[in-house]
Structure 1
Amino acid sequence: MPPRRSYDQYCAAARALDAVGDRWTLLIVRELLVGPRRYTDLHADLPGVSTDVLASRLKDMEQRGLATRRRLPAPSAAYVYELTGSGRALLPVLEALAEWGAPALEERRPTDAVRAHWFALPLLRHLAAAGAGAGAEGTVEVRLDEGCFHVRLAAGEQSHGGQTYGEQTYGERTYGDGPAPDGADATLTLDAGACVAVSRGELTLGQGVRDGRIEVTGDSVLAKALREA
């Protein structure tokens, strides 16, 4: 293996880019923020990455302490990759990138792939803010035509631990791919266009509900907070 390139600059931003500036690395982090993933899962949800590049990036991430590989308990023989604390700390970086890049999400191009859980990053702050504003906590299931994901919101501070297969904890919020495993306190149904509008700050959750672009179901305090956000 050739030696890794470095910017060789005594700068915090340059050091960070030494670790995560390679093509695909941050998108692998995006996938692992959802929770531990098998190599085949990662490859399926990163359209366009070659097997060689994916394997190389994962190895680099292990060497840099961003991710680890472990075997699932018996009877499963599968291995999964998961983020370390250092890797999980990149959540606000990915959120900021998603917020910065949201204006570029105009009309979807014919070549664009899409996965439902890719909308978790731009929506996460809006859902967390709506819940925090009402002091509400619980699980929100977000349903799109492309699939669904779930977000858990806590009213108080939590540690960065508590990860389970398919889900991770980050401060006051967690999220995972697919339906909420223990049921949802509120269900959000919308399309990708409404997701993008919320992400870009063009539409609030409450406005989307009133305009009929977003449907919130549930009788919980959290569901009411989302309808009124």
Structure 2
Amino acid sequence: MPPRPPARPRRSYDQYCAAARALDAVGDRWTLLIVRELLAGPRRYTDLHADLPGVSTDVLASRLKDMEQGGLAERRRLPAPVSAYVYELTPRGRELLPVLRALARFGADDLGDRAPTDAVRAHWFALPLLDGVALEEGLLEVCLPEGGFHVRVGGDGVVSYGDGPAPGVPDARMVLDAGAAVEVGRGVLGVGEGVRGGRIVVSGEGALAKALRAG
């Protein structure tokens, strides 16, 4: 991991406008994609760099420092014997989840076919899926050929997601490919329709699984 960069003056639009203030905090290139990664849980610097193809080490370190200064993220040391540092979002940083969901919804129609040069990670499909699927309370594990992620809906309706398999036994498991995931996120394919058409497999017997199959 490169040395942590020194604090630098933040650029500002110098406009007395809430949208401009928000862009002062997250408008730099790569910042919102770093937020996307950290919404999936605490990440080590090396993991962030691996899942942000194209970002330089200098830029990544600089953006993380800016996010710490802005109160969006924090860096903490994992307890022994791991002895590693991770970055995670603060409560203020997690408030950006609906912003990323809205951006995913806005950009879904522009995805088109995947180009040979396009990188892809399974958990990148979580944001559009959160808008394309009405979820009951519970823990959902989503499996794609590229990997998997999990989504948790609390009793208060709060939604969170994480990279990798579900911690513990999920209430439902959904298996699909990237094409189906994109269509679900765009709202052109319902999960129930995908199940009936053989493009999506949903397992589980609880309310969450039954709601997905009926959706």
TM-score, normalised relative to structure 1: 0.88
- SS of alignment partner, residue 80 of structure 1: strand
Residue 153 of structure 2 is aligned to residue 119 of structure 1: no
In structure 2, C-alpha distance between the alignment counterparts of 1:196 and 1:126, rounded to whole Å: 9
AA partner of residue 74 (structure 2): T
Q: Deviations over 1:79-126 (max 9, x none)?
A: 000001110000000000000000011100111000000001111233
AA partner of residue 25 (structure 1): T
Residue 24 of structure 2 is aligned to residue 38 of structure 1: no
- What does 1:20-169 align with in structure 2 at a 5 Å threshold? 20-127=26-133, 129-131=134-136, 137-154=137-154, 156-157=155-156
Residue 187 of structure 2 is aligned to residue 181 of structure 1: no
> Alpha-carbon deviation of 1:4?
2.4
C-alpha change, 1:219 and 1:8, in structure 2 (3 Å) is same
**Which residue of structure 1 lines up, in the alignment, with residue 212 of structure 2?**
226
> Alpha-carbon deviation of 1:2?
5.6
CA contact (8 A) 2:122 2:146 kept: yes
**Which residue of structure 1 lines up, in the alignment, with residue 3 of structure 2?**
none
AA partner of residue 153 (structure 1): V
TM-score, normalised relative to structure 2: 0.94
Structure 1 ranges of 4+ moved more than 6 A: none
**Which residue of structure 1 lines up, in the alignment, with residue 4 of structure 2?**
none
Any stretches of 5+ residues in structure 2 without a counterpart? 1-6
Q: Deviations over 1:168-191 (max 9, x none)?
A: xxx522211111120111110000
- SS of alignment partner, residue 116 of structure 2: coil
In structure 1, C-alpha distance between the alignment counterparts of 2:8 and 2:84, rounded to whole Å: 30
Any stretches of 5+ residues in structure 1 without a counterpart? 132-136, 158-170
- SS of alignment partner, residue 15 of structure 2: coil
> Alpha-carbon deviation of 1:139?
1.2
